Amino acid sequence: MTSPVTLLVIAKEPRPGRVKTRLTPPFTPQQAAGLAEAALADTLDVVARTPARRRVLVLEGAPGPWLPAGFEVVRQCAGGLDERLAAAFAHCDGPALLIGMDTPQVTPALLTVDFAGCDAYFGPAADGGFWALGLAAPDPGLLRGVPMSTPLTGAAQRARLTGLRVRDLPRLRDVDTAGDAELVAKAAPRGRFAAELARLAPVSR
């Protein structure tokens, strides 16, 4: 069954020194990029298995062999993260759910949303940010100006949804640090991310 929802993934090409820099140390830039690629591949695989009207990868960089079939690829715009997230929603003319590449433990069940009687979905992240944002009527203005990458980002974005009928998704953990990586791998032990983490040298504690 086809869903009327567009699924958006905002991501960076997994290149050493450009992604997951907070994983170094204990990992090398090459190892961090390998973990980022595994997380992105897991995320895209889940999106590919989730019913959707469209699947759109909003990418900084170039596609690689980790990209499955069935995705439209659009380039991220310039500007801060709030502007890039807002521009991602501008590609949609109907209900849309946006996620990042940092939660490889996500599942099709979490991404299968129904906007009947609902204006928005919000997925809080353990670090105070958010891992998912869904809008029945995409409005880039709901994201522009939200302070990003702070412990209060999630609260600020959630406050922008005041007056809308919001359904909250479960809290998930982003992969930012080595400790995060261990916890996320335990949450999704059969994924590429967990396998890549297990292949690398043990994480420093």
Residue at 96 is within a domain: yes
- Here the CATH number for the domain that contains residue 32 is 3.90.550.10
Residue at 69 is within a domain: yes
Contact criterion met (CB below 8 Å) for 124 and 168: yes
pTM of the model: 0.94
Domain that holds residue 108: 6-199
Burial of 140: CB neighbours in 10 Å, binned 0-12, 13-18, 19+: middle
Residues 127 and 149: their CA atoms lie apart, in Å, by 9
Residue at 125 is within a domain: yes
Residue at 182 is within a domain: yes
Q: What would the pLDDT profile of 61-108 be if each residue is shown by its tens digit?
A: 999 999 999 999 999 999 999 999 999 999 999 999 999 999 999 999
Please state the domain count of the chain.
Answer: 1
Residue at 92 is within a domain: yes
pLDDT band per the 50, 70, 90 thresholds, residue 204: very low
Between the two ends of the chain, the Cα-to-Cα distance in Å is 46
Residue at 1 is within a domain: no
Q: What would the pLDDT profile of 35-67 be if each residue is shown by its tens digit?
A: 999 999 999 999 999 999 999 999 999 999 999
Residue at 204 is within a domain: no
